[in-house]
Chain A
């Protein structure tokens, strides 16, 4: 009987990984366009976010905490996932490619 929990863990090893101590997170590849890459120091970063999905607003908070220099720029930044502009409520998934687009100056 004393061995029973141990055996059960061997039989169902996956269950051990889903215990309360496990933190689920996701990764998003973020590209910074225009002058934003100067604030961040690089054009692309892999950003880890908590949970299985997170909103663009959460991504913005995480970026702000990591790169305070972005603060004055975020009010005028637009966000894209793939080739679509998205709003702050958009849900990001693991592996998404997001982009921060500052005010544009083409032509």
Chain B
């Protein structure tokens, strides 16, 4: 666990301080939170699991890509693991840019890439006591074309 993957509840304030930048006129914050239903079934909680060392590497890479591809000055991504209750944030993305267009686009890119590339899995716990790992996106290596 470290700067990118944590068991602690996600906290916005430290990331805002870390990314403070007076040259930026736009700040976009994205939270992903635990929803109370999926595929028509009531959900009561969610367990997130990560391959921690690989996930930290991937989130660090995505941050670097965001800075490279978009006209943004700051990007931080954190993902939580463990048992999360309804409404709790599972992922937090902070982007700061000179202007809003780049900030919105970069934030969108970051969450899309996290969902495709981070080795993280969720297990939904349903109101009826059942639980299930969700179907997801197969991981591919950089030198490999997706199937």
What is the interface size of chain A, counting residues whose CB is below 8 A from a CB of the partner? Answer: 23
* A106 contact from B53, B121, B135, B141, Cβ within 8 A: B121
Contacts of B37-70 to chain A: CB distance below 8 A:
48-51, 53-57
A104 close to B144 (CB less than 8 A)? no
CA distance A34 to B122 in the complex (A): 7
* A80 contact from B48, B49, B51, B138, Cβ within 8 A: B51
A34 close to B121 (CB less than 8 A)? yes
Query: What does the 1/0 interface line of A39-76 toward B look like (CB < 8 Å)?
Result: 00000000000000000000000000000000000001
Contacts A33-B49, A34-B121, A101-B139 hold; do A106 and B114 have CB atoms under 8 A apart?
A: yes
CA distance A96 to B90 in the complex (A): 31
Residues of B within 8 A of A9 (CB): none
B31 CB to closest chain A CB, in angstroms? 11
* B137 contact from A84, A87, A104, Cβ within 8 A: A104
Contacts A82-B53, A83-B54, A99-B51 hold; do A105 and B135 have CB atoms under 8 A apart?
A: yes
Report whether over half of chain B's contact residues are helix, strand or loop; otherwise say mixed. Answer: mixed
A85 close to B139 (CB less than 8 A)? yes
Contacts A33-B51, A87-B141, A99-B51 hold; do A107 and B114 have CB atoms under 8 A apart?
A: yes
Residues of B within 8 A of A87 (CB): 141, 144
22 contacts between A and B (CB under 8 A): A34-B123, A78-B138, A82-B53, A83-B53, A83-B54, A83-B56, A84-B54, A86-B141, A99-B51, A101-B51, A101-B54, A103-B137, A104-B116, A104-B118, A104-B121, A105-B120, A105-B133, A105-B135, A106-B114, A106-B119, A106-B122, A107-B90
* Top 9 A-B residue pairs of the complex, sorted by shortest distance between their CB atoms: A106-B120, A105-B136, A35-B133, A34-B121, A103-B136, A78-B139, A83-B53, A107-B115, A76-B138
Binding site for A on B (CB under 8 A): 32, 48-51, 53-57, 79, 90-91, 111, 114-123, 133-141, 144
Binding site for B on A (CB under 8 A): 31, 33-35, 38, 76-78, 80, 82-87, 99, 101-107
Apart from A78-B138, A85-B141, A107-B90, list 19 A-B contacts with CB within 8 A: A34-B123, A34-B133, A80-B51, A80-B54, A80-B119, A83-B51, A86-B141, A87-B144, A101-B119, A103-B138, A103-B139, A104-B117, A104-B119, A104-B121, A105-B135, A106-B90, A106-B115, A106-B122, A107-B118
